[in-house]
Chains A and B, each alone.
Chain A
């Protein structure tokens, strides 16, 4: 186990709704990255948060937004859900800076948009 936990594990939403996904990073990690993994594909980078600030963003529209809290846990928010947003959403935590570490992934949240 990586120590990275995500909630919920599964979620069904209707097109046009909004969703919030949560991630608790591994103890001691200060960086959280979010990825979207469509069925049969590799994960695609959404954005990264480092010490509560967005630190890089992939090719995703502004309706994908995030937060990182002082305890380094994080949220991914998606507004105006579309059918194509159906995917496994993964978060990964790491330690950036002195003694930096590799990224460790949570088990993911499976989002289905109907």
Chain B
């Protein structure tokens, strides 16, 4: 069935360093790949997304890359700050209002 794998499950970095989270999806019909940040006690918050007709997208310190041939996509956070500490989820779907298949999450800790 449809599946999204996410690595690593935990990631600890020093403030100012970069963090990279990687995901692999199984459904070749997937065309929409959002990333969500979830803080304790809150719902997931959309931070960036990418569609299959684009290979890379950047928004300030956050960037996402997509390799549709390999079915891989990655989140890159540069110049990390303590407030970036949260659980990050990747997801895949066929279009942006379709059901989302989520990865298992990455707990990012940024130490001052």
Contact = CB atoms under 8 A, between A and B. Distances in A.
B34 A102 contact: yes
Contacts of A96: 97
Given A104-B46, A108-B43, A33 B96 contact: no
A39 to B, nearest CB: 11
Interface string B31-58: 0001010000111111001000000000
Give the secondary structure class of A's interface. Answer: loop
B97 to A, nearest CB: 4
Interface of B: 4, 6, 34, 36, 41-46, 49, 89, 91, 95-105
A105 B99 contact: no
24 contacts: A2-B43, A4-B43, A35-B100, A42-B6, A42-B89, A42-B103, A42-B104, A43-B44, A43-B89, A45-B101, A56-B98, A94-B96, A95-B97, A100-B95, A102-B34, A102-B46, A102-B49, A103-B96, A103-B97, A104-B46, A107-B41, A107-B42, A107-B43, A108-B42
A33 B100 CA distance: 9
A35 B44 CA distance: 11
Interface of A: 2, 4, 6, 31, 33, 35, 40-45, 48, 56, 58, 90, 92, 94-96, 100-108
Q: Pick from B44, B45, B46, B96 the residue with the most CB of A within 10 Å.
A: B44
Contact of A105 (B6, B44, B95): B44
